[in-house]
Structure formats: C-alpha cells, structure tokens
Chains A and B, each alone.
Chain A
C-alpha cells in the first residue's frame, strides 16, 4: 500500500474504498434517486457509491452537509472551512484535510494559513481570529470534547457573534462525522493509482 498518502497536503488525492462500493448497474431505484443519477450525471465517486450501502442516511446527509457548509449568513465560508480542517487534522483524515485546505486557500485567495497549519499544526502562527477559531474547533474535535469556556470566551473576544459561533460548532462537528466515514472506509491514494 505504498501509494497511500500519510502526510497532510492541499493536493486532493484519490480515495480508494476498503469495502466494495455498490455497482451502479445493481442499484435500487432508491439508491439511484439518492445518488442523483441522471442521463447527464452518471459519474458517481467511489465514496458516494460506498455510502449508498446505507441509502436512507445518504439521502438526508447531503442536504445537511450542504446547509452547514454553504447556507447564507453567519460564519464566512472561509472560516467554516477552517473548522472543517481543524477536525480533519485531529482525526488525521488526509482526504478531508486536503479538500478543505484547498477550498480555504481558494476562498481566501491565500495559501499562507493552510501552509502554516500543515507545517506547524497547533503551533501555527495565526491571526487572533483564526487562532480562536482553530483552537476551539480543534478542542471540540477531541473525544470527549476538550473545548473550554476560555476558548468560547476567546471566540467572542475575537469578534464572533452567536450565529457565527454556532456555525463553527456545526462545521467542525460535521467533520467529526465526515472524517469517520472518509478516513475509516477508505485510503487517500496518489491521483491515478486508484483501481
């Protein structure tokens, strides 16, 4: 398994499942509906085909995921990505970390924050606001959560209002979820080495 990636990177790898994904030709009507397969959309990722084993959850999970990461108002998209990244770093989910570090860099039009985090981890040199966000999300992602009243105060001191704090809780908690699928059910592998 030498093609498995073990270090954090912003280059999004391929993902190779450790279980057999469903085969599109064998999919039930309910699975096809959850996979949103249409004549113009037949390219479904191995990850989604794997989750289709539990179609009832897959169906409700996608709108929840999109709502937490993209709904208007509250915390900026860039900062939601930082919450997602903190969780993914705690859980060492290389794939999720790559996707959300690269999205952070795209939205921020700046790679310095994610460069710094991947190089120095929790010792990264961050702006006070990013520091408060990352530290809270990192602590909330421990099991059990280690997020403290002091860290909550630090978020407020950094200027986050309640709507923003709730969005940070939701986006980092969501990656406690996503990491336990992505990191557990498959391996991040070099592009092109899947199959």
Chain B
C-alpha cells in the first residue's frame, strides 16, 4: 500500500465542481454526507482488520469495479494505491484473477457488480467451497457495495454539472 493517504473526499475531488456554481452549493449543503462517504471509503479500502483481503487486493478490486462501471479516473486512482506489482492486474476486468489464485473471487465480484439481480445462493456457496470464510465473503460484499455507491454518485454529479454548463 502506498503511503499516499486518501484525500479528503474522493467524490468531491474527482467531480471537479466549479466553485460558486449551483452544484457546488448543493454538494456543500451535504458536506456531512461527503465526509461520511470518505470515512466509509477508508474503512472499506484501508481497514485495520483486513481479513484475507490486503489493502492492495482491495484497491485492485475497487479499481476493477470502477472500470466495469466506466469510471476510468476512479479506477486509475485506486490502481495508483497498489504497491505489489503481482496484484496489479486484478484491477483489469479482462483478467481472470487466476494468476493470483483469485479466480472465484473475481467471478463473484464481477457478477455482484454487474449482474446483481442474478446473484443467488449458489454464488455464495461457490466462494465457501473455494475456502473463503463467511467473514471474508461479507468483506467482499462491502467492497462491492461501497463501490456501487461511489461510482453512481460520481456519474450523477457529472450529469448535474454537464446540465449546468
């Protein structure tokens, strides 16, 4: 993990909202939500208790989900946090995760991110059968769930800004 700390608000920084605009005023009005969103990012990406998922693996999976959502700048930001080169290609949705022994994990993360409605009990069972503990399954879901939120807040604010241009 890089020593670079996550900045005050990933959402605010990547959104690059013009100062003094109506969108900036709206975001300022929810500054508590922006701060809590950042606290959650920190908890999901850099927890003290990592379980099976190191900070590098978390950053790579977050980048992978950002890429699946077409959020390139966010994917780049998370990729930049990965220190261990052997983990880095997990961030690419075209890679299976086989090289890291994380094929099942990547299959699961991709399905939860993209085909959420189709996830069923068999998907959880597949992870359990692959030896992933229940606590680590919950941790994966939290990474995925947080990313689902973050990419959509970024996409939504971008549309707000464009409509005001």
Contacts and interface: CB of A to CB of B under 8 A. Distances in A.
Given A64-B33, A149-B163, A152-B159, A92 B141 contact: no
Interface in A43-67: 50-51, 53-57, 59-61, 63-64, 67
Contact of B36 (A67, A141, A151): A67
Contacts of A120: none
The contact size tier of chain B is 35 or more
Interface string A20-59: 1000000000000000000000000000001101111101
B30 A167 contact: yes
B146 A57 contact: yes
Contacts of B142: 51, 54, 57, 181
B154 to A, nearest CB: 9
A166 B137 contact: no
Interface in A134-170: 140-141, 143-145, 147-149, 151-153, 156, 161-163, 165-170
Interface of A: 1, 18-20, 50-51, 53-57, 59-61, 63-64, 67-68, 71, 73-74, 90-93, 140-141, 143-145, 147-149, 151-153, 156, 161-163, 165-170, 172-174, 176-181, 183-185, 187
Contact of A152 (B29, B141, B162): B162
B148 interface: yes
Interface string B42-53: 011001110100
17 contacts: A18-B121, A53-B138, A54-B142, A61-B43, A64-B37, A141-B152, A143-B68, A145-B151, A145-B155, A162-B25, A163-B30, A166-B26, A177-B145, A180-B112, A180-B144, A184-B116, A187-B121
A140 B156 contact: yes
Contacts of B150: 173
Contact of B32 (A50, A71, A148, A161): A71
A114 B142 CA distance: 29
A165 to B, nearest CB: 6
A59 B125 CA distance: 27
Interface of B, helix, strand, loop or mixed by DSSP: helix
Interface of B: 22-23, 25-27, 29-30, 32-33, 36-37, 39-40, 43-44, 47-49, 51, 68-71, 112-114, 116-117, 119, 121, 123-125, 128, 134-135, 137-139, 141-142, 144-146, 148-153, 155-157, 159-160, 162-164
Instruction: Across the A-B interface, give the 10 residue pairs with the lowest CB-CB distance, nearest first.
Output: A169-B156, A173-B152, A92-B117, A176-B148, A19-B134, A53-B138, A180-B145, A162-B26, A53-B135, A177-B149
B148 to A, nearest CB: 4
Question: Which of B44, B128, B150, B156: most chain A CB closer than 10 A?
Answer: B156
Contacts of A178: 145
A60 B36 contact: yes
A54 B138 contact: yes
Contacts of B40: 57, 60-61, 64
A16 to B, nearest CB: 10
With most chain B CB atoms within 10 A of its CB, the pick from A54, A71, A90 is: A54
Given A143-B69, A152-B159, A173-B148, A59 B43 contact: yes
